[in-house]
Amino acid sequence: MRSIDSGVAFMFFSSMLSALNGAMAKILGSDMSALEIVFFRNLFGVLIILYTLRHTPPTLQGGNLKLLIWRGLFGFSAMLFFFYTITTIPLGEAVTLNKTSPLFVAILAFVLLGERLDLKGIFALLIGFGGVVLITKPFDAEVGIAHILGLLGGFLAAAAYTTIRKIKHIYDSRVIVLSFMGIGVVIPLILFVIAHFYSPEGLDFLLAKFVFPVGWRIWGLLLLMAVTATASQWFLTKAYSSTKAGIVGIVSYTIIPLSLLFGFLLGDKIPDLATVGGIVLIVVAGLMVRKG
């Protein structure tokens, strides 16, 4: 029981900090590209994690470097697409699209792992992707690359979360977070160099030119993002390591109302009925596919 309680608490704090992080990313989006936000957030985060590892070395020895790297790649890609979505559409919608990850987990488990998908699971998937349709409004002229990348971010987040369950017993939670943030520093540097020579408009979410941030406000927000992001990732990793993924996943949906609130405070429009309906359907579907 104590394990379940700690997992729930860890996930709630992770969701709260993540919603706050999204709000800060939205504020910074008017001054920086999503790729720059990801780069600086992870750069500060790496320094924080390295300090904690030096202060208290990990006791787990590892043993699956390949899977650790994949976790980092999936996590970085999911973050980049998520931040781009945050800076282009309302915060609540962006977060909800990212929270389609449980639906993708169910599909991946069925296709790749041969896990059984019963009628309840199929019904949940239909409900969830019906919610996606209500939010994205695919036949509306307003739908664009941001909604597509939001869904792709949810898929990649599902892959990243799955790897945590595979390596939690062999890697310290800080090392797992470091793999994600370290890759989130190296790959943007490569993309900045490429963008310096080649940056087509249609790929601005991926190939953005580096512009050095100016001003205490921007640097203060970046540093605060790094602190809250590192704490959020640590809480998330501890949550999935403390109790069953299904229980933790239910609590993770608290990020949606928190994000809607932060988005409203930052000037997002109140969601229309279709969007609200879509959010509700995705949450219901996500809870249905969770396994305790």
Render pLDDT for 131-157 as a digit per residue (tens, 0 to 9).
877 776 665 555 578 888 888 888 888
Render pLDDT for 222-231 as a digit per residue (tens, 0 to 9).
888 888 877 8
Q: Tokens standing for 101?
A: 């990850």
Residues 6+ apart with CB under 8 A from 99: 154, 252, 253, 255, 256, 282, 283, 286
Question: What is the CA 180 to chain-centroid distance, rounded?
Answer: 11
| Domain boundaries, position 279 | 2-289
- Distance separating alpha carbons of residues 4 and 12, to the nearest angstrom: 12
Render pLDDT for 21-47 as a digit per residue (tens, 0 to 9).
889 988 988 888 889 988 988 888 888
pLDDT of residue 121: 75
pLDDT surpasses 50 at 1: no
Number of domain units in the chain: 1
Per the model's pLDDT, the better-predicted residue between 204 and 17 turns out to be: 17
